[in-house]
Chain A
Amino acid sequence: MTQTSADPAVDLRGVGKRFQRHTDRRNSLKERIVRGRARSSEDFWAVRDVTLQIPKGSVYGLIGHNGSGKSTLLKMIGGIYRPSEGSITAQGRVAALIELGAGFHPDMTGRENIALNGSILGMPRKEISAVTEEIIEFSGLGDFINDPVKHYSSGMYVRLGFSVAVHMKPDVLLVDEVLAVGDEEFQRKCFDHLYALRRSGRTIIVVSHGLGQLEGLCDEIAWLERGVVQEHGTAVETIASYLRRVNAEESARHPMVAAVRRLRHDPGRPHRVDGHHRQPAAPRPLPGACRYL
């Protein structure tokens, strides 16, 4: 199942990230002086021992519960966090599409923000002016591009941010849970564009809870659990085992709810007995927009 590419776009080897858990962060001098350097805080590994080869030109998904380390891993790939152990090698320009619009200044117009956002993402100025019209066209903002972005709706914000990020033609594009925003039409446009990017040999790494979306989009998926890779492989298989686990945990906690839910999903299917555990049947591939219910 492990697909090792000879020349991966991103090569993660034994990557771990340790955070210190503070009841209150020791960033005041008083704390520092009173308690000195002694570590009273305990260490906490948000990501541990992750070894993954993300093939060039693929769409790679990261799934897992909240707090499983997906976003931390993405931030390390994007260079915002340094790994505490292990190494990350990425080929070419890495651009993050993490929480779009972070680089927008509310008082500046959309057009001015394109220039700013592009420079922050590392695009040379000539390149920015070359693609500005294309970005505006893609965002579909029309005349609003000359209005201050503080008057934009959240959807308009996302559209502009997405347009900038994908037009800077990164070699590796990091997408953190942003595809769910924007209307149906723009979403489809985004997907088309992501596919086009992939066709041109670029790599896309997506973090999302939208399993249906991921299943359609990704070639491979890694499932993280408490910072550790639980399983990785083809999108369909990984999502299936992830759902199996989620459903099993849920039935253990709320047997009645789970039973009802199962009935609603596929009333006709019998339970399968695996060993001495009663497990719910493997779910069918989910329909497009559906998550767990």
Chain B
Amino acid sequence: MLSDLYTRRALVWAFANRDFATRYRASVLGWAWSLIQPLATLIVFAAVFTVVFRIQAPPLGNGNGSSYAAFLFTGLVTWNLFSSLLNLSMSQLKSNGELLKKVQFPAWTPILGASIVQLVQILLELAVLIAMFLYLRNVGWTWILAIPILIGALLFSQGLGLMLSIVNARYGDVQYIVAVVLGALYFLTPVLYPMSMIEGKNEILGWIIRLNPMSWYVQAMHDAMYSLVAPSALVIGGLLLGGFLTFWAGFAIFNRWSEDIGEML
């Protein structure tokens, strides 16, 4: 599997180049859009949830009060990583369908190419998040732990994306189901609210949220970036291992199912 990824890296890179070059080619503001979008979401959500719902964010790691906007953005960045890779992966087979029907090449190459470009967007959002925490003077060594957490999240999302994209190529309903499930899952992940609002108050809901793998990635990011608390080694190891296993399974299922991709599309 790894050797496959390695030998086809040039093609993955060629697709990444194509998507990178064309992503915002027709727009005036170009890459600025990739920041305007999440920032607009942040402003709207932060306004609604602090003013209307009066959600109280947990205290910052530096002990200087709390910031709901920073708390929310930490979760948003992690969630966006997940949902954008999922959606992007699912759309790639359709948008490269003409090509896949005519030339023989591994169908996962355009998917990984698109994800590489999305990675740039994710890094931009992370840079904004870091700038935000620097402004709040909320800095700690636990930030380093964000790297394994995010790598785990990337692998997990990509693995799931590969799996869903190939199932979706066969059964066109999957993308609609995924849209519905993602919509629900968003609220079952502690992005908009801290876990402390649920724990001890609604045990059943708490369990449902804990069953959602994305909750673990988001919470670990909250710990490392916002609260400046190190998640336990067990959690970090689990998140990494879960990511690797999901990616491995997704890649294997994708390869098994995509042998007849030329006929499925």
Contact = CB atoms under 8 A, between A and B. Distances in A.
A103 B259 CA distance: 20
Contact of A116 (B14, B26, B170, B174): B14
Interface stretch (A1-9, A76-84, A137-145, A231-239): A76-84
Interface residues of A, number: 30
Nearest to A121: B103
Main secondary structure, interface of B, reads helix
Interface string A77-120: 01111100000000000101011001101011000100110011
Given A80-B102, A96-B102, A125 B18 contact: no
Given A27-B172, A116-B18, A125 B262 contact: no
A28 B172 contact: yes
Interface string A115-157: 1100111101100000000000000000000000000000000
Interface residues of B, number: 28
A99 B259 contact: no
B137 interface: no
Contact of B21 (A19, A30, A108, A120): A108
B203 interface: no
Most buried by B among A19, A27, A96, A124: A27
A96 to B, nearest CB: 6
A30 B173 contact: yes
B105 interface: yes
A120 B22 contact: no
A268 to B, nearest CB: 47
A291 B173 CA distance: 46
A108 B18 contact: yes
B107 to A, nearest CB: 11
B22 A116 contact: no
Contacts of A293: none
Interface in A220-236: none
B66 interface: no
B105 A122 contact: yes
A124 B99 CA distance: 19
B218 to A, nearest CB: 30
Contacts of A29: 171, 173-174
B10 A98 contact: no
Contacts of A27: 170-172, 264
Contacts of A199: none
A35 B102 CA distance: 32
B98 A119 contact: no
Contacts of B98: 102
B26 A120 contact: no
Contact of B102 (A99, A105, A116): A99
Contacts of B174: 29
B104 interface: yes
A212 to B, nearest CB: 26
Given A102-B98, A102-B103, A81 B262 contact: yes
Given A29-B171, A102-B99, A116-B15, 11 more contacts: A27-B264, A28-B173, A78-B103, A80-B104, A81-B263, A99-B102, A102-B101, A102-B103, A115-B14, A119-B14, A121-B103
26 contacts: A27-B172, A27-B264, A28-B173, A32-B171, A75-B262, A78-B104, A79-B104, A81-B263, A96-B103, A96-B104, A98-B103, A99-B102, A102-B99, A102-B101, A103-B103, A105-B22, A107-B26, A112-B17, A112-B18, A112-B21, A116-B15, A116-B17, A120-B14, A120-B103, A120-B105, A121-B103
Interface of A: 19, 27-30, 32, 75, 78-82, 94, 96, 98-99, 102-103, 105, 107-108, 112, 115-116, 119-122, 124-125
